[in-house]
């Protein structure tokens, strides 16, 4: 069953963060619209990198894993549970140095698990997270979203598709010196989502 809204934040800023503000507005809107509980995952609080134990454990058959190997996958297991439970996934991502914040990359490394969230078939890789919709709230200081130096939104969209989530909406939260809360363009994008236009 997947009935929740998963809200993932990755900005290092807590105060004045454009992606936090706008994604929170979107999450409230989705929660009212779909009557779903919200799960908050704030990556700025810290997230472990995958390490040798993790990779070894993931390559070991689940039934053959030692206690230490199971423990090495604990965080990954719970992050994947959050994803599986979610019907809507809202990822708030500032562009940092042309890509996603390192904590968001670390989260992706934790949740992209062969045989759990994707698998290889005769026809190539197949994403195993089905029936979900993702919203990418992406902000930059200057890089136009979708331009050839935006490696964040294109990357995130690709990763979502790889995991089986093809229904992806990009909320362009480009800061460009504007205040997030009274940005008419953002209001319009959120209204279009509420009206089901995208």
**Residues in the site for ligand FMN, rule: CB under 6 A?**
11, 13, 17-20, 94-98, 139-143, 175
Name the minimum Å distance from CB 157 to ligand FMN. 17
Name the minimum Å distance from CB 119 to ligand FMN. 34
Q: Nearer to ligand FMN by C-beta: 73 or 100? A: 100
What does the block give as tokens for 68? Answer: 């230490």
- 158 burial type by CB count under 10 A (0-12 exposed, 13-18 middle, 19+ buried): exposed
Q: Nearer to ligand FMN by C-beta: 85 or 172? A: 172
Name the minimum Å distance from CB 89 to ligand FMN. 17
Evaluated on CA atoms 186, 164, 108, 24, the torsion sign reads positive
Name the minimum Å distance from CB 170 to ligand FMN. 15
Q: Nearer to ligand FMN by C-beta: 6 or 143? A: 143
Q: Nearer to ligand FMN by C-beta: 9 or 58? A: 9
Name the minimum Å distance from CB 98 to ligand FMN. 5
Distance CA 120, CA 73 (A): 20
Q: Nearer to ligand FMN by C-beta: 165 or 175? A: 175
């Amino acid at each position: 069953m997947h009935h929740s809204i998963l809200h993932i934040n990755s900005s290092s800023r807590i105060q004045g963060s454009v992606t936090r503000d706008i994604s929170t507005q979107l999450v409230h809107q989705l929660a009212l619209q779909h009557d779903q509980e919200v799960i908050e995952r704030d990556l700025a609080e810290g997230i472990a990198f995958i390490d040798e134990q993790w990779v070894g454990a993931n390559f070991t058959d689940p039934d053959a894993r030692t206690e230490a190997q199971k423990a090495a996958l604990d965080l990954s297991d719970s992050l994947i549970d959050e994803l599986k439970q979610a019907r809507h996934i809202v990822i708030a991502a500032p562009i940092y140095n042309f890509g996603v914040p390192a904590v968001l990359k670390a989260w992706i490394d934790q949740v992209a698990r062969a045989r759990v969230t994707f698998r290889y078939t005769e026809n190539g890789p197949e994403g195993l997270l089905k029936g979900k919709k993702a919203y990418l709230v992406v902000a930059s200081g200057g890089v136009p979203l979708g331009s050839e130096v935006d490696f964040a939104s294109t990357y995130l969209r690709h990763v979502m598709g790889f995991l089986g989530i093809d229904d992806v909406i990009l909320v362009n939260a480009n800061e460009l010196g504007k205040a997030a809360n009274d940005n008419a363009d953002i209001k319009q994008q959120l209204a279009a989502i509420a009206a089901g236009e995208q």
